[in-house]
A and B are shown apart, each in its own frame.
Chain A
């Protein structure tokens, strides 16, 4: 420290030439977000809450799947934090499913950050909840970098988006604990290559648990519900 100061003073006295010095920083750019995420994780943990961060493209069915899940699992006391750029349509749909819902309107921000979630959890009755689902802003790029204090990151991919999505967005898929293929009732109509999609997921996200569901027909939902029940510590 003293040595650095000496160099600093010599810069002030040297009029002809400014000599720079190096400061070692070694600090994570998102360390503040990480601190807030860790605090959130602790808070959820204290209340025995399973926290889920749902990430997908816009329109892949996050809201529909969540609303159906909470309707079909009425004994799971759920809270939802939903991020949206400008409307509260998703929050209205989710409220109808019985979940306590908080809307975050990001006003154009393309992802949720832990600070936004910290504010949003305030009105939720955490002591009464089993599960908190965070519905991120529809985007497969930006949310990848931001830990929100979740226990599980759930990345969704609808069959209408094509089987090569995991290859196009490896950063988010490699961070997934769970991948849910949605809208499987449309797979045939859109010529979805199921085996190629599963192979792409096996290669890019070998650690992820994969579900294939249709929130419309109900196909595959029981496996997803069993998994959730298991994570909540209840046998279905």
Chain B
């Protein structure tokens, strides 16, 4: 359950940016979460609800954009999206497993909505 420490980081980053912009409250936090980020969206949602209490994001909604795993084949140089839930990244052209991860590890605060 490392999502709680991640939720605290999210709120810290959000409050810092909201304050810089002179906002009174945060109404929405938009995240980008890669399928290989190690974060379970449901667990993060739960943790965020607990972590936001008493902060500028106390009534903020959480928006999560899930970034799929995209790999590149070492031989074919083809970039492809991995659908496999075990993260097995087989090149659709030559069938070779790829370890060259191009996207899917994202764990970022994309934007905020504030008032």
A residues adjacent to B (C-beta < 8 A): 4-5, 8, 11, 18-32, 109-111, 113, 141-142, 144-146, 166-168, 170-175, 202-208
Residue in A closest to B86 when the chains form the complex, CB atoms: A167
Q: How far is the CA of A22 from the CA of B108 in the complex (A)?
A: 16
Interface string of B28-39 (1 = CB under 8 A from A): 100100001111
- With A29-B10, A144-B38, A145-B39 already in contact, the answer to whether A5 and B22 are too (CB < 8 A) is yes
Q: How far is the CA of A28 from the CA of B87 in the complex (A)?
A: 22
Assess whether A29 is in contact with B109, with CB atoms less than 8 Å apart: yes
Main secondary structure of the interface of A (DSSP, over half): mixed
Q: Does B92 contact A (CB under 8 A)?
A: no
Minimal beta-carbon separation of A148 from chain B (angstroms): 13
Of A167, A172, A175, A206, chain B has the most CB atoms within 10 Å of the CB of A206
Instruction: Report chain A residues within 8 Å CB of B38.
Output: 141-142, 144-145, 171-172
Q: Does B110 contact A (CB under 8 A)?
A: yes
Instruction: Report chain A residues within 8 Å CB of B90.
Output: 203
Instruction: Report chain B residues within 8 Å CB of A167.
Output: 86, 88
Residue in A closest to B12 when the chains form the complex, CB atoms: A32
Would you give 24 A-B contacts (Cβ < 8 Å), ordered by A? Answer: A8-B21, A20-B114, A23-B113, A24-B111, A25-B109, A26-B110, A27-B13, A27-B109, A28-B107, A28-B108, A29-B109, A110-B2, A111-B2, A145-B2, A145-B39, A145-B107, A167-B86, A167-B88, A170-B86, A171-B87, A174-B36, A174-B99, A203-B86, A204-B97
